[in-house]
Amino acid sequence: MLSMTGFGTARTPCPMGTLVVRIAAVNGRNLQLSVRSDLRDLGLEELIRHDVRERVGRGTVTVQVTLEGASAAGGVDLARLRDAWTQLAALARELGAPPPALEQVANLLPRRDDAPEGLETALRSALATALEAFLSERRREGAALQAEFRRRHAALAALHERLAATAAARLPPWRDALLARLSEVLAQQVPPEVLAREAALHAERVDVREELVRLHAHLGALATLIDGGGDQLGRRLDFLLQEISREVNTTGAKANDLELTRLVLEAKQEVEQMKEQAANVV
């Protein structure tokens, strides 16, 4: 199990100074990748995007590449920068605007096609190290999430047993009490066999055995998911928890019993907590 949140960083020397790669992620329904790079090289940015997509499943991921050192501007074509700034400064004077900042003009220019030799190798090395640290953090947090899921699954399984026992115990006396009341009110007008049939039909409508059978099956599937992992685990957990929530809610709607209602409310709280945690799983 992997958490969607994580952080990883790496530093490595390169021909232009020191290359620093930082990767951070928070929750997201899909993979949303943002790359911020001092290199301003579209080819190298695409390399970053490719390698991250290969290793990261879901989440809102930011990759920041920073160059540290005096030679960090080595990839800028200084002649083109000088010409572009001169032209933009003249235009600014003509329009009565302030002159442009040099770094803003540099960001508008394409980088030289030939990146310094060794830069791509250094970037790949730093990116791989940062990714491994990032994924290690995801695994560590994922292990904590898995332990929490197991604890809440055990609590739900115990609540299911209590729900089943309470539901089974309440039905016969409830049916007898209903029949007695109907007999008292309608005995002079309705045959006894009709009263018995109507009481049985009404009891069927408040019987939650089918819901509890389905809930038991869903809990078995949930245990398999928690221990088995696999791709798109967060999405599969979310779907299964929606099904579990549906059975718990239906049980509550048909409860007509104080103790059963109290147990249903406890179960709903456990399910809601698990749904919140599932949003953190890759």
pLDDT for 74 beyond 80: no
For 209-237, write each residue's pLDDT tens digit. Answer: 889 999 999 999 999 999 987 788 999 99
Res. 60 pLDDT band, cuts 50 70 90 = very high
Contacts of 153-162 with C-beta under 8 Å, sequence gap 24+, read 153/219, 153/222, 153/223, 153/226, 153/274, 155/270, 156/219, 156/222, 156/244, 156/267, 156/270, 156/271, 156/274, 157/219, 159/263, 159/266, 159/267, 159/270, 160/212, 160/215, 160/216, 160/219, 160/267, 162/263
The answer to whether residue 266 is domain-embedded is: yes
pLDDT confidence bin for 188, thresholds 50/70/90: low
Is 244 within a domain?
Answer: yes
Question: What is the reported pLDDT for 72?
Answer: 44
- Residues 34/61, Cβ–Cβ less than 8 Å: yes
Comparison of pLDDT for 187 and 281, the residue scoring more: 281
Task: Tell whether 91 and 151 lie within a shared domain.
Answer: no
pLDDT surpasses 70 at 194: no
Residues spanned by the domain of 80? 76-110
pLDDT at 78 over 90: no
Position 68 in a domain: no
Looking at the structure, do residues 181 and 251 belong to the same domain, yes or no?
yes
Inside any domain, residue 50: no
3-state secondary structure (DSSP) of residue 97: coil
Final residue in a domain of this structure, among 110, 134, 155? 110
pTM above 0.85, yes or no: no
Q: What is the tally of structural domains in the chain?
A: 2
**Residue 68 confidence (pLDDT):** 85
**Domain-embedded: residue 36:** no
Residue 90 lies in a domain: yes
When pLDDT is averaged across residues 140-167 and rounded to a whole number, the result is 95
Which span out of 5-19, 55-69, 92-106, 141-155 was modeled with the highest average pLDDT? 141-155
Across the range 266-270, mean pLDDT stands at 96
Q: What percent of the chain has pLDDT over 90?
A: 54
Please state, rounded to an integer, the average pLDDT across all residues of the chain. 85
> Quick one: 170 and 219 in the same domain?
yes
Query: Does 160 share its domain with 215?
Result: yes
Q: Do 83 and 146 share a domain, yes or no?
A: no
- State residue 73's pLDDT score: 46
The residue from 86, 110, 134 where one domain ends is 110
Do residue 174 and residue 96 come from a single domain?
A: no
In a domain, 43, yes or no: no
Pair 152, 261 in one domain: yes
Does some domain include residue 166? yes
pLDDT for residue 45 is more than 60: yes
Q: Name the least confident of 122-131, 136-145, 161-170, 243-252.
A: 161-170
Q: What is the pLDDT of residues 80-133, one digit of tens each?
A: 778 888 999 999 999 999 998 887 787 776 555 555 678 889 999 999 999 999
